[in-house]
Amino acid sequence: MLESVLFRNIEIVSGESIKTGDVLVKDGKIAEVGWDLPRHAELIVEDSGLTLMPGVIDPHVHLREPGATHKEDLESGSKAAASGGVTSFFDMPNTTPLTITSAAVAHKKQLASQKSIVNYNFYIGATVDNLDELNTCENIPGIKIFMGSSTGSLLVDRKEDLAHIFANGSRLIAVHAEDEAMVQANKQRYSESTDPADHLLIREDAAALKATKLAVSLADKYNRRLHILHLTTIEEALFLEHHASGLVTTEVSPQHLLLWAPDVYSRLGNLAQINPPIRTKRHADGLWRALKNGVINCIATDHAPHTLDEKMQPFGKAPSGMPGIETSLPLMLNLVNQNRCTLKDVCRWMSEAPAAIFGIAGKGKIEVGFDADLVLVDMQGRTVLRNSSTVSRSGWTAFDGHKIHGLPIATFVNGQMVYREGDFFTDIKGKEIQISAPWERR
């Protein structure tokens, strides 16, 4: 175990500053940030031309353990995370069994303590009758509500049931916002379809907007913190732009920014099938504007791996979801090199904002006293994303063949190097993320 690391004469990105200097890490924390710091450390990193950034916090992943570990598990998923500069994740509750009790959450935390090389925490899932569990489960990022179709009893779509959850308790509620009645009616309408592009019509724009408006109205009525997961429509973004209660935050995924219909469905078929769906370029452009102007607060991947065999089933039988935890930061660094955003933007969207939204003290910045969750990137590095080089157990990426300019090359979790240029150090394990600081309204 490393007790100290010195990053020397390196570009440092944190907050609103980019500067050249040194960063000293001791006992898992950032001890000093300055210039020409004493050269006393177990590991000295002084590779020229590299940039040090806060580790990425991915607040929305599905690592499939327990119950579907042939797709992904906490070890393979955390390795994929580390290879992409992700140092912390929040995992969703639609596992088998469902994560709907304190005992189920504790079991997943125990598994992660043995298997995950990055930091972790887990949502509890809402059902129509587990309110006591939702409000007494200790140290979780929030309550996940599937307002649209999901797995078994995790669906909560009736307004009265939703209101009961919003009215009782105080912790953050995160929603998958799609109107279930509209989705089911459209499923019947397209029940004979064999065209993956019809997924876009089944989960239509209006279904997302209707559910988002309902969730926001309940948050306002009951003064409850709400986080809207994977925003996909320009109409939702415009609605949120004019909502000023300060109770609501939201996220967007790289796939909803960088892929669009109809091209993605003709190229990728069922590989492009996710919930909510990848929509037209009008929506992708609108989401990008909303991210740039602060209406959308952060980036999250909705990493939802399935095997290629599962995705190659006929439309209607193939599962929805795609991997993304290892490609999110490379894709964003590539956008920096295309002058579509800045490194400061990327740090804000992928590190600082998730820490603020979910009340994670001591993460998301390179400042004295903060946890030494760090990613070393080479902004001149180049690669081509390939299915064959995917770390995730799923073995594929929707961005196969995508040229990348800007690469994470080493990842440090709590001051320990867990990944460097293709090598993993799995004797190091991450820690449970502590949820502490309250959200401050905008």
Q: How confident is the model at residue 48 (pLDDT cuts 50, 70, 90)?
A: confident
- Look up residue 355 and give its two tokens: 């820490």
At residue 225, the 3 state secondary structure works out as coil
SS (H, E, C) 247-279: CEEEEECHHHHHCCECHHHHHHHHHHCCCCCCC
Place of tokens 């990944």: 419
pLDDT greater than 60 at residue 150: no
Q: How confident is the model at residue 388 (pLDDT cuts 50, 70, 90)?
A: very high
At residue 355, the 3 state secondary structure works out as helix
Q: How confident is the model at residue 119 (pLDDT cuts 50, 70, 90)?
A: very high
Quick one: pLDDT at residue 439? 61
- The mean pLDDT value of the chain amounts to 96
Question: In 3D, which of 305, 249, 256 has the Cα closest to residue 284?
Answer: 256
What is the third-level CATH fold of 55-358?
TIM Barrel (3.20.20)
- Look up residue 154 and give its two tokens: 């995790």
User: Where is average pLDDT lowest: 12-26, 304-318, 369-383?
Assistant: 12-26
Residue 381 near residue 350 (C-beta atoms within 8 A): no
- Look up residue 104 and give its two tokens: 């189920």
Q: Which residues are catalytic?
A: 302
pLDDT digits (tens, 9 = 90+) for 226-274: 999 999 999 999 999 998 789 999 999 999 999 999 999 999 999 999 9
Quick one: pLDDT at residue 442? 45
CA distance 166 to 143: 10
Reading phi first (left if > 0) and then psi (alpha if -120 to 50, else beta), residue 313 is in beta
Average pLDDT on 373-392 reads 98
Residues contacting residue 396 through CB under 8 Å, at least 6 positions apart: 271, 308, 311, 323, 387, 390
What are the sequence ranges of the domains in the chain? 55-358
Quick one: pLDDT at residue 245? 85
Residue 225 near residue 439 (C-beta atoms within 8 A): yes
pLDDT digits (tens, 9 = 90+) for 290-302: 999 999 999 999 9
Residue 182 near residue 204 (C-beta atoms within 8 A): yes
- Look up residue 150 and give its two tokens: 């999901």
